[in-house]
Amino acid sequence: MPIGRQARIGHCTKPHTLATTYNLKNMTSEQFVKAVFTEQKEILATYFSNSNSTEVSLLIKGMNLSEDQIIALKDIMRSAFTDLAYTLLLGLDGEAQIGGIQHTYQLLDEEGNKLAGEGEIGSFAWEYFHGKDHSD
């Protein structure tokens, strides 16, 4: 996504920050996985922020949950997001199915440079999404 474009997340627009965080021409598979991991955490935080008015955050606020229920819902959503992101990342590496189809995909930057070798995304995905050093 070119710099300056907006990414639509949860029925709100927010600036796309990936290009400002990494040099996309030299992005490694670990940086890509870390960016997905960070985006997941930021989206979840946005949904539970009192100052946000995304569709999801408004639905959560409308539920009038107790503090314990909010914590439980956040844990459920974090687990679901982790399952989705981890499965998609494994799918890109050919280690899981995406929509019932299993292939190895090549991630390329805008200039056609390959982002990762075989199995690299899956190993970094495990580290970021299930490793103890990156858990919340």
pLDDT at 6: 36
pLDDT at 75: 96
The domains of the chain are located at 28-134
Question: In angstroms, rounded to a whole number, what is the distance separating the alpha carbons of residues 25 and 105?
Answer: 18
pLDDT at 18: 44
Residue where the block lists tokens 């009192």 = 50
Compute mean pLDDT per 10 residues along the chain, 136 residues long, and list them.
37 43 69 94 93 90 96 97 95 92 84 79 93 65
pLDDT at 135: 54
Question: In angstroms, rounded to a whole number, what is the distance separating the alpha carbons of residues 28 and 1?
Answer: 17
What is this structure's pTM? 0.76
Torsion angles phi and psi, residue 114, rounded to 5: -75, 135
Residue among 129, 50, 64 at smallest CA distance from 96: 129
pLDDT at 134: 60
